[in-house]
């Protein structure tokens, strides 16, 4: 099968590319800049925000399936946190629309798109499924912009019914090159004793190992299922468990406990919200309808894996 992988140099893309080639798919890697080390069948370059360029490379690649794994979360020198999230929001809104339109014009028969499983509003039970409302009216401007862009991405993809669309909502990624890698931003904060436990720590995080996220995307390429699926592990974990547990695994200092108000000042609104009010995600739909299940069922088993 001919597959166009957009975002082939990203955290998931680099795990996904060899899986697709191992399954004997012809893979064209779509990147924004140069990527001479990618072992793809072909490499094409285009900025997802450049509609004519995207249309041209998709038409030339002649894919049967398009896999959208593009974000702009890797900052370049001088970027502020807001600029990184705003750019990713634009990629999710405008870039996704450009890619979907190009796929439609090229006669693509399926699209697989990346979303996030932790954008649900803090209503209902502690663990929610794919029908839960998204937190588009979050009180924090950065998070509201992020979730609104996620909602736009999902709507754009799912409305393209002729593309047999499937949206994979990944949990918080851990593993090599992620924020939760020992060398990542959060891993380093834990190692240095700079990630405190906020409030009661009752907020849930649904994790997924980056390898399992890539396996889900590879499976979605060949599967007939459509719709939205949470791709998360089996253990939605409260901050009161994973923050000190991660520190223990890394042999780091025991996290300090701080009130919510101080947590918002030190970690930002989302950092405090994640630890106190965030909902976990249920993976039952992916297990039943997609036939996917995590090979690493809990962050406890995989957080120190390469």
Q: What ranges do the domains of the chain cover? A: 2-173+207-232+281-294
Residues 6+ apart with CB under 8 A from 50: 98
pLDDT at position 305 is: 55
Q: With CA atoms as reference, report the closest residue to 198 among 118, 262, 122.
A: 262
CB atoms inside a 10 Å sphere around CB 302: 20
CATH 3.40.50.620 at 2-173+207-232+281-294, yes or no: no
Question: What is the structure's pLDDT at 82?
Answer: 59
Picking from 65, 71, 67, the residue whose alpha carbon sits closest to that of residue 84 is 71
Tell me the mean pLDDT per 10 residues along the chain, length 306: 95 96 97 82 95 98 97 52 79 97 98 98 97 98 96 98 98 92 91 96 97 98 97 97 94 96 97 98 98 94 65
For every residue of 114-175, which 3-state class applies, written as one string? EEECCCECCCCCCEECCCCCECCCCCCHHHHHHHHHHHHHHHHHHHCHHHCCEEEEECEEEC
Between CA 192 and CA 198, with CA 193 as vertex, the angle to 5 degrees is: 145
Q: What is the pLDDT of residue 76?
A: 44
Query: Where do runs of H (alpha helix) occur along the chain?
Result: 11-22, 51-61, 81-90, 96-105, 141-159, 185-191, 210-222, 239-249, 260-276, 284-285, 299-302
């Amino acid at each position: 099968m001919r597959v166009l992988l957009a975002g082939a140099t990203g955290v998931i893309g680099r795990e996904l590319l060899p899986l697709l080639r191992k399954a004997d798919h012809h893979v064209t890697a779509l990147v924004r800049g140069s990527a001479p080390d990618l072992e793809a069948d072909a490499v094409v370059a285009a900025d997802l925000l450049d509609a004519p360029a995207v249309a041209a490379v998709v038409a030339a690649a002649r894919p049967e399936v398009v896999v959208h794994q593009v974000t702009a979360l890797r900052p370049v020198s001088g970027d502020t946190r807001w600029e990184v999230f705003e750019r990713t929001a634009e990629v999710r809104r405008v870039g996704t629309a450009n890619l979907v339109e190009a796929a439609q014009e090229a006669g693509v028969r399926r699209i697989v798109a990346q979303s996030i499983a932790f954008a649900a509003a803090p209503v209902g039970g502690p663990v929610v499924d794919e029908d839960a409302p998204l937190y588009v009216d979050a009180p924090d401007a950065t998070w509201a912009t992020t979730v609104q862009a996620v909602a736009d991405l999902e709507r754009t993809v799912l409305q393209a019914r002729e593309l047999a669309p499937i949206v994979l909502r990944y949990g918080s990624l851990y593993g090599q090159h992620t924020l939760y890698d020992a060398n990542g931003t959060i891993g380093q904060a834990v190692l240095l004793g700079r990630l405190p436990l906020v409030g009661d720590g009752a907020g849930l995080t649904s994790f997924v190992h980056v390898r399992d996220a890539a396996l889900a995307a590879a499976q979605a390429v060949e599967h007939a299922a459509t719709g939205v699926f949470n791709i998360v592990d089996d253990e939605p974990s409260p901050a009161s468990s994973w923050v000190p547990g991660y520190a223990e695994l890394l042999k780091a200092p025991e996290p300090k406990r701080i009130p919510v108000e101080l947590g918002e000042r030190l970690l930002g609104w989302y950092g405090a919200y994640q630890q106190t009010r965030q909902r976990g995600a249920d993976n039952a739909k992916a297990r039943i309808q997609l036939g996917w299940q995590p090979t690493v069922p809990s962050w406890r088993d995989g957080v120190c894996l390469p």
